[in-house]
Structure 1
């Protein structure tokens, strides 16, 4: 797809970098040129789309989703009752919903039977609409542990190594390990309890490193976070700092170690955070939410993710999750940077996506209004371009000449 996009402003990334009355030329799936409307004109035969009251920005990143889950009241029961064909169809629909809200890169952190791998490749070939997908395949867990039903139970070093090798051979982009318990698995470890110790996590990291793969560690508990950091994982998912019984137990020395090692934290908070605040109580919730500012102030890289697929965590509303960051004091420009440039960089895609710059993949979002003034503008999607493929929404206010 070749296209010239003209808009009131272009947020090129990172925070603070913008171009008034800007234009972006897309050629052969890449951003070919960025400049002012006066400077750029469409080559012969290339259409121009005008958005006079809109903003162009990099496509958004959702770094923690589960396409195999349907966001319903009991996504695990639905998954277990679905055959692969039904599950694959649902996953494709959910990928499209991500794209509809401007997400052009998504990291899927646990599915069944490699279905997300197949979907990733179908999207890349242009067979179905969806964002760029990074996938972990089947996550590692202990027997009967968190998300055991996805098929990744391992017991002992040899099984750990074998599962990592199997996932790598299948072509995953990241290895996922359930370092602590989680809320989706009744009867398993509590959220604050560890499932693997630091030595076992080092085995996982070492085996993944042989295949050139990063490791994402699901870790709610402080002890699990500590073990994962010491083992050298690439990202900590949730990073909730739960002590015994669910108390809040942050450890500055571990967070500082994360910053020193460049280990990113993904809170994986859904858009339901306001409801969670009511359920938990304001004081406890604000301590939990406040860890985002605390981590950022210590220099820990932050990833934007929503845990989409869990009950009530939908795939087509990233903005509600971003509003949590505004609630705890992040500026809107910083939030947009985290959801684009920052998350792309933390995922190892900083030279590919997350900026509106020549040579980058054409992952672009056009919204009405100015999201640096009001985040709600991100809901006013007018155009999404993912991997150079144009995804035009109904009722778009564009004009073409």
Structure 2
């Protein structure tokens, strides 16, 4: 059936002036037409959905999450030791929590044993209405390097190339390298330093690009960020210590940043990972603001990512607090994220021919960024989703299943 969303103020994700009293025509999973009321041809027996007084935006995009281990307590080893089936089930739950927030596309940035691929398969092969999942499978790291408990250890360009090929054969959508390693568990230890060298990362990224896969790099210290850019990364994840000079180089090369601000802010709290991690995270947040501002000033494309502990509202609030306008925040969760993930021909803006991923808000997010948390309706590939009927996830990992009475 053809649907017509009418009467809303349209914020299409491209950063331009909102369109009052707009109409968006959807058929099956596609946007067919967009315009002001009265501009479009008569839609005959289409179903009209009156959104007068509401705000219509593109579906949000989370460019960095860890769905199978999201908001789990304990060390990395503890979090990786859960049963595979349980982790995939948690991943589905967390995907639905994303959908409740208006997120219709998620890039999973890596999981133990590559379980993000199992999660993606479980969702795509079923009738579950969930965000589109793009999966990085497992990251690459040095032997005993950062996140070695859950990722693949490689020490030479040849090993990196072989591991990348295996992940591509398994169906990975992205290839990830751990360019930096973070300690800071004890006073006096460095907060971040180089983990993987340029040659090893380049071997992985070159093969990935040959197979039309985009590449991401976990990188906090400025040297590791510069190394990852030199090696061919398409996006830098976190970028805490990003210098002005490296930010300018990223902008020149078209390398984007997914800062995951809210994740590091939340990690200052007790998640069963030790006082050292809490102390480290508090220090990282102090530096993160400077790195973020350097990226913003250099014109680096910035996108939203929650990481395993953050969320969309905290991320956007922090982005605004640290210098972005509300419209820039909206672009970060829509078009910018789509560009960095290489899917801007499908999602990220509201335009004819794009996938019908939409979010209806109760009030104006440009006047008040908190309105991004007032999601009234989600449209995923043309299917109407009432967010009140989706899971609510609490900080300790508990879940309230659905709306009252169910």
Q: Which residue of 1 aligns with 2:28?
A: 28
DSSP 3-state at the match of 2:194: coil
Does 2:8 align with 1:8?
A: yes
Q: Which residue of 1 aligns with 2:265?
A: 273
Select between 190-199 and 284-293 the one with higher mean Cα deviation: 284-293
State the Cα deviation string for residues 48-67 of structure 1 (Å, max 9, x = none). Answer: 22222210001111111011
Number of equivalences: 380
Q: Which residue of 2 aligns with 1:174?
A: 174
- How far off its partner does 1:342 sit? 1.4
Aligned partner of 2:380 among 363, 381, 386: 386
State the Cα deviation string for residues 52-88 of structure 1 (Å, max 9, x = none). Answer: 2210001111111011213033263553332111111
Relative distance call for 1:376 and 1:42 in structure 2 (3 A) is: farther
Q: Which residue of 1 aligns with 2:88?
A: 88
Q: Which residue of 2 aligns with 1:356?
A: 350
State the Cα deviation string for residues 204-234 of structure 1 (Å, max 9, x = none). Answer: 2222222221210101112211111111211
Q: Which residue of 2 aligns with 1:334?
A: 328
Q: Which residue of 1 aligns with 2:402?
A: none
DSSP 3-state at the match of 1:113: helix
Relative distance call for 1:6 and 1:353 in structure 2 (3 A) is: same
How far apart, CA to CA, are the structure 2 residues paired with 1:54 and 1:332?
A: 17
Asked whether the equivalents of residues 108 and 134 of structure 1 are also in contact (C-alpha less than 8 Å), the reply is yes
Does 2:113 align with 1:113?
A: yes
State the Cα deviation string for residues 1-53 of structure 1 (Å, max 9, x = none). Answer: 64221233011121123210112111120101112233457745532222222
DSSP 3-state at the match of 2:52: strand
Q: Which residue of 2 aligns with 1:305?
A: 305
How far apart, CA to CA, are the structure 2 residues paired with 1:283 and 1:184?
A: 9
Q: Which residue of 2 aligns with 1:258?
A: 250
Relative distance call for 1:194 and 1:206 in structure 2 (3 A) is: same
How far apart, CA to CA, are the structure 1 residues paired with 2:94 and 2:214?
A: 25
Asked whether the equivalents of residues 69 and 75 of structure 1 are also in contact (C-alpha less than 8 Å), the reply is no
TM-score (norm 1): 0.87
What aligned pairs does 1:137-156 form with structure 2 within 5 A after superposition?
137-156=137-156
How far apart, CA to CA, are the structure 1 residues paired with 2:164 and 2:184?
A: 23
Does 2:290 align with 1:320?
A: no
Asked whether the equivalents of residues 100 and 388 of structure 2 are also in contact (C-alpha less than 8 Å), the reply is no
How far apart, CA to CA, are the structure 1 residues paired with 2:126 and 2:353?
A: 20
Q: Which residue of 2 aligns with 1:399?
A: none
How far apart, CA to CA, are the structure 1 residues paired with 2:225 and 2:237?
A: 9
Aligned partner of 2:368 among 357, 365, 374: 374
How far apart, CA to CA, are the structure 2 residues paired with 1:262 and 1:109?
A: 20
DSSP 3-state at the match of 1:225: helix
Relative distance call for 1:39 and 1:75 in structure 2 (3 A) is: farther
TM-score (norm 2): 0.86
How far apart, CA to CA, are the structure 2 residues paired with 1:377 and 1:347?
A: 25
How far apart, CA to CA, are the structure 1 residues paired with 2:263 and 2:223?
A: 27
DSSP 3-state at the match of 2:351: coil
Select between 46-55 and 362-371 the one with higher mean Cα deviation: 46-55
What aligned pairs does 1:276-291 form with structure 2 within 5 A after superposition?
276=268, 285=285, 287-291=287-291
How far apart, CA to CA, are the structure 2 residues paired with 1:100 and 1:367?
A: 12
How far apart, CA to CA, are the structure 1 residues paired with 2:252 and 2:225?
A: 15
Asked whether the equivalents of residues 263 and 306 of structure 2 are also in contact (C-alpha less than 8 Å), the reply is yes
How far apart, CA to CA, are the structure 2 residues paired with 1:164 and 1:281?
A: 30
- How far off its partner does 1:383 sit? 0.8
- How far off its partner does 1:136 sit? 0.5
Relative distance call for 1:185 and 1:115 in structure 2 (3 A) is: farther
- How far off its partner does 1:329 sit? 2.1
Unmatched segments (≥5 aa) in structure 1: 242-249, 397-401
Asked whether the equivalents of residues 147 and 185 of structure 1 are also in contact (C-alpha less than 8 Å), the reply is no
How far apart, CA to CA, are the structure 2 residues paired with 1:120 and 1:185?
A: 34
Q: Which residue of 2 aligns with 1:247?
A: none
How far apart, CA to CA, are the structure 2 residues paired with 1:167 and 1:185?
A: 32
Q: Which residue of 1 aligns with 2:272?
A: none
- How far off its partner does 1:327 sit? 0.4
Q: Which residue of 2 aligns with 1:245?
A: none
- How far off its partner does 1:125 sit? 4.8
